[in-house]
Amino acid sequence: MLDNDYKSELTALKQQGMHRVMPVLESGCGREIVVGGCKKLAFCSNNYLGLTNDPRLIQAVKDAADQWGFGAGGSRLICGNNVPAESLQHRLASWLRKEASLVFTSGYATNTAILTTLSREGDLLAIDKQVHASIVDGVRSARGTWRTWGHRQLDKLTKLLDRRDYKRAFIITDSLFSMDGDIAPLVELAQIKAHYNAVLMVDEAHAIGTFGPKGAGLAEKMEVLSAVDIYIGTLSKALGGSGGFVAGSQTIIDTLINRARGFIFTTGIPAVNCLAAEAALDIIAAEPERAKRLITHASYFRDKCRDLGLAIGDSESYIIPVILGEPQRALEASKLLYDAGFMVPAIRPPTVKPQSCRLRISLMSEHTQEDMDGLLEQLTRFQH
């Protein structure tokens, strides 16, 4: 009976080209992966700097497991708080020039916990229309009123703020948008925040480790780190591991420790994850050429895509969409690339709008010129 309800929904998804299945990787998630017994070049991961399988990170994980075991053993307030989590938090806070930071088990958990905890009745939670689902889910269950402003359209944001029908306003955005690869106007957002005496929350999940002189993200690159009141990051993309964090004032962090249900009522992050993140931060500090290479790759790849007449929108980064339209078209394109040896995901609703289904190409610093040119050659099939 219950199954029948869902079966018809699943059938409908299949008919609409919206059904999802998980490819099974038979290898780690590096530049090259193994799927279905075949090697593929991965243009699908967020492992932008190739750190997930860097030998130094792996060694840090092994050493950490030897010393700390794996699971944290309990919630951090009860018995799961370990020295590596404390040490990582100090390091993140000083790197991001904030008073304190707090590590969570994922970036998703970080966003939902923060938004549900900090918002109060009468608050305005203003989000860019394209923010990540974890922010959307956070504001949906928050106590304030949430409204969207048109993607990167600051006049729409100021219109919302001009209403002055709120007690406090939170301006919330991703810095690098995960499906379009475009960048939030952080300098202008910092000015707007100051003008309206609002709170600025920026999710740097896709930019941390790769942008900015010290890899601290786009806010660092645009010199507005100090204007960001609530800095969100993840350990699971360029840092090659798993976990999420927030950095901000000591008062905000103490409030989260005392009130955030997504922090209090869950097992703490394993020490292994924290020591892996520290190893990743060491590599990022010692080898800035990795991020530089990635940025150079991205600029080459975008220019070539535009020369080929591919619809890559306003991408300004190593996340490069090729917008194709209907779900079925994106699926077919992904399958063609798969057969040619490239793993590039088809992105469909609800992640993107129904008519803007796409291939989402994500580059890595480890990709070679040949890798990129090989994919570009295949992409000529999707010229407009």
Binding to ligand PLP by residue 345, rule CB under 6 A? no
- Scanning the chain, the segments in alpha helix (DSSP H) are 2-15, 55-68, 83-95, 107-118, 133-140, 154-162, 186-196, 218-221, 250-259, 261-264, 271-286, 288-307, 327-339, 369-379
Judge whether 55 and 276 are in contact, CB under 8 Å.
Answer: no
**From candidates 48, 68, 95, 108, binder to ligand PLP by CB under 6 A:** 108
- Residue 204: CB minimum distance to ligand PLP, A: 8
Binding to ligand PLP by residue 89, rule CB under 6 A? no
- Residue 46: CB minimum distance to ligand PLP, A: 7
Q: At what angle do helices 133-140 and 107-118 cross, to 10 degrees?
A: 30
Segment 239-268, which members bind ligand PLP (CB under 6 A)?
A: 244
Binding to ligand PLP by residue 178, rule CB under 6 A? yes
Judge whether 334 and 21 are in contact, CB under 8 Å.
Answer: no
**From candidates 40, 76, 98, 132, binder to ligand PLP by CB under 6 A:** 132
Any idea which residue has 């969570």 for tokens? 104
Q: Cβ contacts of residue 1 below 8 Å, gap of 6+?
A: none
C-alpha distance from residue 339 to each of 39, 40, 333, 345 (Å): 11, 9, 10, 13
Q: Tell me the site size for ligand PLP, rule CB under 6 A.
A: 14
Q: Which is nearer to ligand PLP, 134 or 315 (CB)?
A: 134
Binding to ligand PLP by residue 134, rule CB under 6 A? yes
State the residue number with the nearest CB to ligand PLP. Answer: 107
By three-state DSSP, how is residue 325 classified?
Answer: strand
As a whole number of angstroms, the distance between CA 131 and CA 153 comes to 13
Two tokens at 377? 């050659």
Phi then psi for residue 183, to 5 deg, are: -125, 140
Q: Which is nearer to ligand PLP, 166 or 182 (CB)?
A: 182
- From 102-110, 259-267, 351-359, 366-374, give the range in contact with ligand PLP by CB under 6 A: 102-110
- Residue 368: CB minimum distance to ligand PLP, A: 26
Binding to ligand PLP by residue 119, rule CB under 6 A? no
Binding to ligand PLP by residue 182, rule CB under 6 A? no
Segment 205-244, which members bind ligand PLP (CB under 6 A)?
A: 205-206, 234, 236, 244
- From 56-64, 81-89, 105-113, 275-283, give the range in contact with ligand PLP by CB under 6 A: 105-113
- From 13-21, 57-65, 200-208, 289-297, give the range in contact with ligand PLP by CB under 6 A: 200-208
Two tokens at 78? 């009860």
Report the interface residues with ligand PLP, using CB under 6 A. 106-108, 111, 132, 134, 174, 178, 203, 205-206, 234, 236, 244
